[in-house]
A and B are shown apart, each in its own frame.
Chain A
Amino acid sequence: EDKEEDESKEEDNGNQQNRASRRKNYQRKNRDGKKAREEGSQKKDRGKTAPTKDQKESENKGKKTTKRGKEGENKQKKDRKNSTSSASSNSSDEESLSEEELAMLKEQVEQKKKLISTMRTKPWRMVKKLSVLREAQDFVEKFEGALGKGKGKKLYAYKMMMAKKWVKFKRDFENFKTQCIPWEMKIKEVESHFGSSVASYFIFLRWMYGVNLVLFGLIFGLVIIPEVLMGMPYGSLPRKTVPRAEQATAMDFSVLWDFEGYIKYSALFYGYYNNQRTIGWLKYRLPMAYFMVGISVFGYSLMVVIRSMARNANESTADGDDDNFIFSWKMFTSWDYLIGNPETADNKFASITTSFKESIVDEQESNKDENIHLRRFLRVLANVLIICCLCGSGYLIYFVVKRSQTFSKMQNVGWYERNEVEIVMSLLGMFCPPLFETIAALENYHPRIGLKWQLGRIFALFLGNLYTFLLALMDDVNEKLAEEDVVKNITHWTLLSYHNSSAGNDSTVTPPPLDPADVPRGPCWETTVGIEFVRLTVSDILVTYITILVGDFIRACFVRFVNYCWCWDLEAGFPSYAEFDISGNVLGLVFNQGMIWMGSFYAPGLVGINVLRLLTSMYFQCWAVMSSNVPHERVFKASKSNNFYMGLLLLILFLSLLPVAYTIMSLPPSFDCGPFSGKKRMYDVIQETIELDFPLFVAKIFSYVANPGLIIPAILLMV
């Protein structure tokens, strides 16, 4: 209000209208009981003016001192100004004054709006918050109307109304979203028993479930459903039919379990899709859709992971390994407020006590000298051992994959030989991490740092295994490509000879087309790759579940029931109940997702399998945790663990993008299976679509844009 007064003083040119409004301001302040000296000037002014001003004054005196009153005064003032006859100079001055006031009002309204939107973050009592909120809302409502006067009033009012509707819509949408989140109570139960770190795994699992559900929707809706509804049915084309030779065994369970037989020739795999440019009455461009969906799977995943990382990065701050506040943090952040269970609370009290005692001891012994050389030597030794393990496991996988190729050429292979690769990989994943942990005991790190090393090593193990597997698979693919040329010739000649022979018998009757089951087939390498990934995923799922069942549940049953008749206390000593291995489980989840990303281009049904897996995992693991695990004794997580796992996920996303991109860009698609058959490269489908479907000028534009001379500067600009 002071500002207002000063500014109106500055503008005053001795104009009567201005003086009247100034007087109004003064009067208002008087009523507020603030400034007495204005009263003197007010009286002076009153002496000089005409009776109409007195009318105004008395009216104003009658008004209340609330902000509502101020607004009412403004309205009245403007009405009066409009009604009194005035020279043009008067009206221009009154416009500028009201503009000043308008600007001020606008600012205040904006301030109040900001206050309303951040009300919930204010550290006040609820009662105070509610009353300040009401006041601010009333102020905004009253003045929004006034601000709209003059120029652009209708537009302003419309904008305000839309803004209000938008706020309401956002609120309803938030309400709806929180209702949709599943498993909230389940996670809360786990949290109250095990604390926030174990629950963070389940929250991560739930997030992955959401992402996979979206991917599944994309693939299912845009690729599988159109193919099933509008594409050629089973049996009409060679690629969609089980070959004659295999038909006898196509329904056997063992064959189906290996994803051969009828499953191989279904919409779940790449090879089923026809390369017709458009299908059905909708002229749906299936090959184009297949390609774009494949790309958008990666694009969407990338976007979602980065968005999640950005959100996490806002919350987490400095280094958790900061040594400056050890005791303070122990004191103020060690109690987990989520605990709602007496047993867990007891555990927590014990662990906090131990932690304090350890820190006290560390503090007192911090001056002790350590033998640095011995420590360094031991650490180097440990790392050497672990690298040997990693190389050994890589070689083992390569060897096994090579052997499986020779097996596939043999007849009469046993169940073990068929599944050897998957079994070996899963076993390695199960036994190597504990091995790493025992070797790491040599290193004698602080537990938090030791945990990071452990995670890094397990990551390297899984990565090495996966890439070795891929390399071996690539050998397989190249072999198949060579085979293809041969088969192409055979098919061509077979068809030719069939037509000749049937035409030779009776030239008037058109020869019946060769039954699709009899046409010689190429070795569709894409489907093979898809099948390999699906089998790997399924075996991974099975091994995980069996590990949980045996490692946690059977163990818990054993410890509980056999304890009565055993020499030493099973519960306290070895083996005791299992603790929930957070990092192992999270890494498993991350790698599983990597395999899905790699395989989903060649086996569209893979994402569906993964969605089912995540769903059952949630229930199964929740049950297993509650029934067979005990809370951790020492509780610490890798600092900023949320972003750490997201970072891993991002890395895996890129690493799984590479093989797919490589195969798309450089390998020719099979000649007789899949939506890209017949093309030289898979991405030719884009060019084809642009040429044929879009109007001419679009094709021209694309050909100009695709000029390297344009693209390179654009990329450099972005960098």
Chain B
Amino acid sequence: MGNKQTIFTQEQLDAYQDCTFFTRKEILRLFYRYRDLAPQLVPLDYTNKPAVTLPYELIGSMPELKDNPFRQRIAEVFSEHGDGNMTLDDFLDMFSVLSEMAPRDLKAYYAFKIYDFNNDDYICKSDLEKTVNKLTRNELTPEEVSLVCEKVIYEADVDNDGKLSLTDFQHMIVRAPDFLSTFHIRI
């Protein structure tokens, strides 16, 4: 195929193709999307791996993410230091996991991390409350929120520790019929 691009070396492109679910053309397209967020910050030559990080505000303003109530958590999970500022590698990683081709288990792993707001490797009641409030934009009363969270813990908590571990979450989510189709961003 036409190897006229000078952004990446061929080895870099091959390595990206091995590490993500994207084809060569898609990777280049994603690079241009990344660059379009801040053309003055992102160089056109990535052969010597420049350490460029885009701040969260730019990532969160992308059309695919700007209406998503969990965009901040998504950016935080995939960013290097957990602050939402993403390098190109993180960017590619994020869209690879959220793409159509990613398997269920991989998505479940990252979904768990996204919904774990306090990063303690458990989804506890406060995490659930935050999730519900984000989903309903605070339209439910506190009693309703509390009821929902208790029901969720009752349904999914298998080891009975009052919070959801990764195994509890995976056990619950792999049975969900809509998970693969909703946890998906097309870019």
Contacts and interface: CB of A to CB of B under 8 A. Distances in A.
Interface of A: 116, 119-121, 123, 125-127, 129-130, 133-134, 171-172, 174-176, 178-179, 187-188, 191-192, 196-197, 200, 315-318, 320, 322, 324-329, 331-342, 344-345, 349, 352-353, 356-357, 360, 363, 637, 639-640
Given A123-B110, A322-B175, A335-B135, A129 B151 contact: no
B104 A326 contact: no
B155 A191 contact: no
Contact of B15 (A125, A134, A344): A134
**Most chain A beta-carbon contacts within 10 A, residue among B93, B106, B110:** B93
28 contacts: A121-B106, A129-B93, A130-B15, A130-B19, A133-B18, A134-B15, A171-B23, A175-B1, A175-B24, A175-B25, A179-B25, A196-B182, A200-B181, A315-B104, A322-B175, A325-B175, A327-B151, A332-B131, A333-B176, A339-B67, A340-B63, A340-B67, A344-B67, A349-B69, A349-B136, A352-B135, A356-B144, A357-B140
B180 interface: yes
A315 to B, nearest CB: 6
- 5 smallest CB-CB distances across A and B, nearest first, come from A126-B89, A320-B177, A345-B67, A327-B151, A175-B23
**Most chain A beta-carbon contacts within 10 A, residue among B1, B19, B25, B68:** B19
Q: Interface size bucket, B side?
A: 35 or more
A119 B137 contact: no
**Most chain A beta-carbon contacts within 10 A, residue among B98, B144, B177:** B177
Contacts of A331: 128, 131-132, 135, 148, 152
B147 interface: yes
Contacts of A337: 68, 98, 182-185
Given A175-B1, A345-B67, A357-B144, A125 B80 contact: yes
B152 A360 contact: no
B96 A120 contact: yes
A640 B178 CA distance: 8
Contact of A121 (B67, B103, B111, B148): B103
A65 B69 CA distance: 50
B59 interface: no
Given A120-B96, A133-B15, A338 B186 contact: yes
B139 interface: yes
B23 A178 contact: yes
A126 B12 CA distance: 12
B67 A342 contact: yes
A129 B1 CA distance: 26
Interface in B130-181: 131-132, 135-137, 139-140, 144, 147-148, 151-152, 155-156, 169, 172-181
A349 B93 contact: no
A538 B126 CA distance: 59
Contact of B19 (A120, A316, A333, A360): A120
A329 B67 CA distance: 21
A335 B182 contact: yes
A200 B186 CA distance: 13
Contacts of A196: 181-182, 184
Contacts of B42: none
Interface in B96-117: 96, 98, 102-106, 109-111, 115
A121 B101 CA distance: 10
Interface in B35-61: none
A120 B172 CA distance: 24
Given A188-B186, A338-B185, A340-B64, A333 B23 contact: no
B93 A325 contact: no
B83 interface: no
Contacts of A123: 106, 109-110
Contacts of A174: 23
B52 to A, nearest CB: 14
B183 A333 contact: yes
A334 B25 CA distance: 32
B75 interface: no
Contacts of B102: 121
Contact of B173 (A197, A327, A333): A333
Contacts of A316: 177
A349 B98 contact: no
Contacts of B98: 337
B8 interface: no
A123 B114 CA distance: 13
B17 interface: yes
Contact of A120 (B21, B63, B151, B176): B21
Contacts of A171: 17, 23
A133 B19 contact: yes
Given A317-B174, A327-B155, A640-B177, A335 B68 contact: yes
B31 interface: no
**Most chain A beta-carbon contacts within 10 A, residue among B21, B102, B151, B174:** B151
B61 to A, nearest CB: 12
B92 interface: yes
B29 to A, nearest CB: 11
B173 to A, nearest CB: 6
Contacts of A318: 175
**Most chain B beta-carbon contacts within 10 A, residue among A174, A196, A316, A325:** A325
B36 to A, nearest CB: 16
A127 B89 contact: yes
Nearest to A636: B178
Nearest to B132: A331
A582 B69 CA distance: 27
Nearest to B123: A332
Contacts of B26: 178
B169 to A, nearest CB: 8
B103 to A, nearest CB: 6
A334 B151 contact: no
Contact of B144 (A179, A324, A344, A360): A360
A325 B139 CA distance: 22
B168 to A, nearest CB: 10
A672 B72 CA distance: 74
A470 B184 CA distance: 44
A338 B184 contact: yes
B183 A325 contact: no
B63 to A, nearest CB: 5
Contacts of B181: 196-197, 200, 336
B23 to A, nearest CB: 4
Nearest to A638: B177
Contacts of B147: 360, 363
Contacts of A192: 63-64
A327 B152 contact: yes
B90 A191 contact: no
A188 B184 CA distance: 12
A339 B68 contact: yes
Contacts of A317: 174-175, 177
**Most chain B beta-carbon contacts within 10 A, residue among A179, A192, A327:** A327
B32 to A, nearest CB: 15
A325 B172 contact: yes
Contacts of A357: 140, 144
A363 B151 contact: yes
A174 B20 CA distance: 14
A120 B102 CA distance: 8
A356 B148 contact: yes
Given A325-B176, A333-B173, A338-B186, A178 B25 contact: yes
**Most chain A beta-carbon contacts within 10 A, residue among B25, B105, B152:** B152
